[in-house]
Amino acid sequence: MDKLDNWGKIAGEYADKFISYLPTLIGALLLLFVGLWVIKLIVKYVEKLFQKKDYDETLELFALNAIRWGLRIILFVLVITQLGVQSASLVAAIGAAGLAIGLAMQGSLANLAGGVLLIVLKPFKVGDWIEAQGESGSVTEINLFYTKINTFGNQRAVIPNGQLSNNNIINYSYNGTRRENLSFGISYDDDIKKAKEVLMNMVKEREEIEKDPEPQVLVAELGDNSVNFSVRYFAKNSVFWDLHWYMIEEGKIRLEEAGMTIPYPQRDVYLYDQTKMNGTIEKKIKESKENKD
């Protein structure tokens, strides 16, 4: 009976403490839920402001994430303080946890630093077509740790920002236009000037090709089997690939219609009768011996 009485007293004491602590706990939970709701409203309001001002999409995403997580950290500190934890102890605990997390997540911190550099320096933006880290595609998202692109084959490639910010990046969309350099070959027996005229007329017919800088048709190389022309022009990114496929097909058709021969690698092969060769060799050996005698 004494043990039961002791357990009853202990249970009663804890029940009294819980009841006395219950208002504090309820207040902390209310603060948490109300705080999350207020943060959501603030983020939506800031997002609407960004849309009205038409800021850079990459900068908008970075700013919204920074505001969201900054307010959540402040809310977390307020809730913990509301529960009775001393602010000095909390700061010390956060500092120690931050040091441990920083040592354990060096790679992630490098990606974070890389993400900040990409957002500040802006070597590319969402929607640009880039080539980096062996991948080529359209940028769909730039966050603090990773950059996501859709490749030509419609696959999703995720590249760590740390590696991306420390290596070469080719931005095909930056200047708005791209330069094409197509190669066409004709036979050495064909008329070079006529072929050049045919290719230049084909280029001039296309309105999508930029007039400045002027397009060029040049004799680029006297190859082993053909005279090779280089067709060079600038076109906007939006029409570049459609124009690329069209020009390759149309160039071959027009050269053939003009009577040009599009050559292919050729090689001359000579066949010898091995039996005759053997007889010739044996005869020479016999003559050599007779001369020595």
CATH number assigned to the domain covering 176-293: 3.30.70.100
Q: Tokens 């309001």 appear where?
A: 45
Rounded-to-integer distance, Cα 257 and Cα 187, Å: 14
pLDDT of residue 198: 94
Domain with CATH 1.10.287.1260 in the chain: 2-104
Domain with CATH 2.30.30.60 in the chain: 124-171
Q: What pTM, to 2 d.p., does this model score?
A: 0.56
- Which CATH fold topology does 124-171 show? SH3 type barrels. (2.30.30)
Instruction: List the pLDDT tens digit at each of the 293 positions of the chain.
Output: 555 556 666 666 666 666 766 677 777 788 788 888 888 888 888 888 777 776 666 667 777 777 887 888 888 877 777 776 665 665 666 666 665 555 545 556 777 778 878 877 888 888 888 998 888 889 988 877 888 999 888 889 998 888 888 888 899 888 889 999 999 999 998 999 999 999 999 999 999 999 988 999 999 999 888 899 999 999 998 899 899 999 999 999 999 999 988 887 766 676 665 555 555 556 666 666 666 55
CATH number assigned to the domain covering 2-104: 1.10.287.1260
